[in-house]
């Protein structure tokens, strides 16, 4: 298949790979068959010849998914790109979206190792970033949540974040590739689909490029706060036997909150309390009260103390 893409798209994609530090490495490209991931495939095939492997995850949740994976395999064959189909070992259960996502990334990680790919590319784009920002704003998220989709998360890279959905559709159309239509993208029971439907149906003042700048600025702020928390934790958190002690006095509220979360995770790495629970606990500790969260007893005062509560009798 002969592919000719606009030079401006190729230049932007190459620049994104350079910023992400993966312009010279092997890339495992996650391709579902939708227009976003097919555009990622087409751009990567042009910029990373000989360094690209495409992977399609068949979650086996729809009868059509196996055929769709084979359709992607044919497109990759025509493009001269190695392609693999990945299927989960166990049936997806529970919360379908979160369970499918966890299974998908686990499969992609193993495939990247097997194919000697340093990075995994996904097709998140600027419209996805806008939807994420507005969804998290609606949920009352803080700085970390409002930082949105990160351009890089470990070995996962997202070089399309500065491309709009319309541009990705244009890229596929210019080559004449027919994309897959996943019916779950029309299910308004999913928060993202409902937000996407609302954005498409109203004259809203939220251009994707401005949302991208806001998310980037908040990501920088989140990284700065994480750096400050690391330094403060080294100075203000200590452990005596089985008790963790923290002196968070005279700090801004957000840094107190982050040190509190750091202490709780040191006691129980699997503890994931909601924001409201952290707010209540922080108020208790600042007022020298004792409280429980999970199986951790927390004592307030000048120095906060945290220790595992003994199991209840009976």
C-alpha pair distances (Å), 167 with each of 10, 12, 162, 229, 310: 12, 12, 10, 39, 58
If phi > 0 it is left, if psi is from -120 to 50 it is alpha, else beta; for residue 294 that is left
What was the pLDDT predicted at 309?
84
Q: What is the pLDDT of residues 294-304, one digit of tens each?
A: 899 999 999 99
pLDDT over 80 at 117, yes or no: yes
Determine how β-strand 296-299 pairs with β-strand 304-308.
Answer: antiparallel
Q: Which residues pair with 240 in a beta bridge?
A: 243
Q: Which helix (H) or strand (E) holds 156?
A: strand 156-157
The two structure tokens encoding residue 117: 């790919």
pLDDT higher than threshold 80 for residue 312: no
The pLDDT confidence band at residue 313, using thresholds 50, 70 and 90, is: low
Judge whether 133 and 215 are in contact, CB under 8 Å. Answer: yes
Share the mean pLDDT of the chain: 93
Mean pLDDT to the nearest integer, 96-119? 94
What local confidence, expressed as pLDDT, does residue 94 receive? 79
What lies within 8 Å, CB to CB, of 287 at 6+ separation is 300
Q: What kind and span of H or E run contains 120?
A: strand 119-121
User: Which domains are seen in the chain, by residue range?
Assistant: 7-215 (3.40.50.620), 241-308 (3.30.465)
pTM, two decimal places: 0.88
Comparing CA positions, the residue from 34, 27, 57, 65 lying closest to residue 171 is 34
Q: What is the mean pLDDT of residues 184-195?
A: 78
Least confident of 55-64, 169-178, 183-192: 183-192
Q: What is the pLDDT of residues 191-224, one digit of tens each?
A: 888 999 999 899 989 999 889 999 999 999 999 9
Q: What percentage of the chain carries pLDDT values higher than 70? A: 97
């Amino acid at each position: 298949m002969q592919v000719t893409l606009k030079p401006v798209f190729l230049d932007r994609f190459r620049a994104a790979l350079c910023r992400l530090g993966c312009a010279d490495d092997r890339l495992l490209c996650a391709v579902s068959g939708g227009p976003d991931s097919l555009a990622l495939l087409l751009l990567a095939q042009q910029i990373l010849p000989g360094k690209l492997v495409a992977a399609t995850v068949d979650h086996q949740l729809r009868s059509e998914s196996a055929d769709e994976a084979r359709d992607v395999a044919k497109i990759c064959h025509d493009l001269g790109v190695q392609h693999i189909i990945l299927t989960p070992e166990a049936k997806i259960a529970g919360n379908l979206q979160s369970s499918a996502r966890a299974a998908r990334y686990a499969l992609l990680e193993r495939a990247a190792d097997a194919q000697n790919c340093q990075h995994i590319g996904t097709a998140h784009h600027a419209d996805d970033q806008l939807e994420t920002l507005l969804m998290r704003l609606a949920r009352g998220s803080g700085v970390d949540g409002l930082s949105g989709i990160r351009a890089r998360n470990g070995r996962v890279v997202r070089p399309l974040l500065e491309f709009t959905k319309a541009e990705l559709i244009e890229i596929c159309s210019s080559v004449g590739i027919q994309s897959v239509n996943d019916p779950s993208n029309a299910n308004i029971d999913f928060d993202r689909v409902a937000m996407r439907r609302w954005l498409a149906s109203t004259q809203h003042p939220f251009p994707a490029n401005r949302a991208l700048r806001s998310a980037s600025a908040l990501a920088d702020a989140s990284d700065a706060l994480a750096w400050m928390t690391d330094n403060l934790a080294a100075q203000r958190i200590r452990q005596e036997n089985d008790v963790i002690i923290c002196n968070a006095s005279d700090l801004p509220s957000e840094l107190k909150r982050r040190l509190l979360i750091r202490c709780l995770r040191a006691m129980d790495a699997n503890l994931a309390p909601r924001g409201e629970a952290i707010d209540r606990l922080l108020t208790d500790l600042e007022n020298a009260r004792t409280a429980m969260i999970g199986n951790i007893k927390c004592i307030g005062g000048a120095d906060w103390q945290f220790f595992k509560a003994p199991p209840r009798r009976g």
